[in-house]
Amino acid sequence: MFSSRRRTVLQSALAGAAGLSAFGVLPTTFRFRRAQAALKSMKITRVRFYENPLSRPLFNQSKHIVTVETDAGITGIGEGGTADNVLRLAAFLIGQDANRIEEAWQYMYRGDFYPPGREKVHALGALDMALWDIKGKALDVPVYELLGGLTRDSVECYATGYPQKGTLKAAAAACMKDGYRAFRTAVVGPKDNMAVFNARQAVDETVTHCTELRAGVGSKGDFCIDYHTRLDFPEAVRLSRLLLPLNPLFCEDLVRSENPGVYRELRSQVQVPIAVGEQFGDRWDINELIEGRLIDYSRVTIPNVGGITEMCKLAALCETHYVGLIPHFTGPVSVAALVHVVASFSGTAYMEMAGINQQTFAHLPKHYDFKSGRLFPNARPGLGVELDTTTLKLAGEVTKPPADVHIYRRPDGSLTNW
């Protein structure tokens, strides 16, 4: 059902459109003008960065919270980054129109002249997420409605870290019973993080491990495996060939990620479905793999790629080349954001879920909706997230634009490099 405010706007628009059409004005033109009038300019006034004690030290799995405030009284919520990177980029937003999300993304990405590294792109993603949250709240709609609407009713998940009680086979069977699409495992490694890793031995043990998993998930279930980039090229090929008869849903990060072009040679030697991308940032990190059909699934995720704005472009790139989306797990606000993107993507898609139950977070009374191995889009405005900052530590805020930035614009007003 529509809220009373949305119903009034809709009724006024329909009545006005009917009247204007009698004078030869196209209703579509009128609706566009109504939308422009309804979505007034909102200037960004302050950005705050909150440290989350639950966040991991890895920058690309940051669960720190970012809020973006506007003069319209609407605050957007984002997640990710480190204080130094977020606060530097946040200065680019002060005084800007919160509605112009693409322009804000370009400004933050290009304002310092040199292309940002993955750490800064991750921080940019937290801020971008908050801008989409603002826009959804301003229009009183969930973000997925701004991305074209839903293409699926739920998002299937595969389980990472599913608790093993009894045998591995029993755990895999329980995972399927809980409604998950697949049970995720990894190349077997030593329990001691500093121990010697014997790749040939690990491959043999992993095949035994996966054989038991296949028996557990059954013919109608699936398993997937992360190589964790820990294998050298020959062993990655050998493991992939040995696993092929077990029919894995996908095999992830077969070799190191520094040189994406190596997958051109790897692709010619293995037949298992390949998934790559969790260690990457924006589209220029992975476009070669997608455009060359060197992978079957992209593991890129939010906020790592630079937020919703960039994730949508990557999704379109994947759709163009028949590559599926299986984003890496991330923090709860980012998972909520991912649901909006994945639920409006038309291609094959799964999402990773750590643990088996809906988790609770002290700082998030509402976040994502998860049940029986699936994530569900909800109708709450924006990202659908509610924030309580009392359990977080305010680590910094920005209220002034940067003084050391140059920006050039083309004659039409669009940004270009300086």
Domains in the chain with CATH codes: 44-140+388-416 (3.30.390.10), 145-376 (3.20.20.120)
Q: Judging by DSSP bridges, how do beta strands 75-79 and 65-70 pair with one another?
A: antiparallel
Inform me whether the pLDDT recorded for 29 exceeds 50: no
Average pLDDT over residues 223-250: 97
Inform me whether the pLDDT recorded for 87 exceeds 80: yes
Give the percent of the chain with pLDDT over 90. Answer: 80
**pLDDT grade for 23, boundaries at 50, 70 and 90:** very low
Give the side-chain half-sphere CA count within 13 A for 6.
Answer: 10
293-333: per-residue pLDDT in tens? 999 999 999 999 999 999 999 999 999 999 999 999 999 99
- Asked if 144 and 377 count as a contact pair (C-beta separation under 8 A), the reply is yes
Residues with Cβ within 8 Å of residue 190, at least 6 apart in sequence:
196, 197
228 is catalytic: yes
138-181: per-residue pLDDT in tens? 999 999 999 999 999 999 999 999 988 889 999 999 999 999 99
Position 303 scores a pLDDT of 97
Which is catalytic among the residues 328, 340, 363, 367?
328
Query: Which of 80-84, 134-138, 368-372, 406-410 bottoms out in mean pLDDT, i.e. has the lowest?
Result: 406-410
328 is catalytic: yes
pTM of the model: 0.89
Phi, psi at 161, each rounded to 5°? 70, 30
The encoded tokens of residue 3 equal: 């809220």
Measured from the Cβ of residue 258, the count of other Cβ atoms closer than 10 Å reads 8
